[in-house]
Amino acid sequence: MSDEAQTPAAQPAEAQRAVAKPAGRHFRPARVAMDRGAAARQGSIAQRAFLAFGNRDAAVAFLNTHDDALGQRPIDAAVASADGLAAAERLLAERAGGNSRGPEMTPTMTGAAPPRNPV
């Protein structure tokens, strides 16, 4: 009988130890980080969608639903390019009924301090 035909139980203990994987070690593929421009566009369209629709579920549904005019999901279009972001923003304005003014209109996003109430 050859060594290749032996079952793991029939192999010597030394050979089994050499083949066994160490406990707790798992293969983790290398992660590829999204480039900064794409991440900024993704954050921008996500924030605008949340502000336009007023709730998380509606914003997530808008961002993740395939649109025939865009040919893809709005989140994918926005991440792909600046033109895709502009197209997704136009679609958002149409779907939200023109209620998407964007984060640049809020005082805390522009760096300006919110108005204080006099005491």
pLDDT digits (tens, 9 = 90+) for 34-46: 899 999 999 999 9
Domain boundaries, the chain: 36-97
Give which of 93, 97, 95, 75 is closest to 85, Cα–Cα.
Answer: 75
**Per-residue model confidence (pLDDT) at position 86:** 97
**What confidence tens digit (pLDDT) does each residue in 7-42 have?**
555 566 665 555 555 566 777 778 888 899 999 999
* DSSP for 51-115, written as a single string: HHHSSHHHHHHHHHS-BTTTTB-HHHHHHH-HHHHHHHHHHHHHHTTS----GGGSTTTTTPPPP
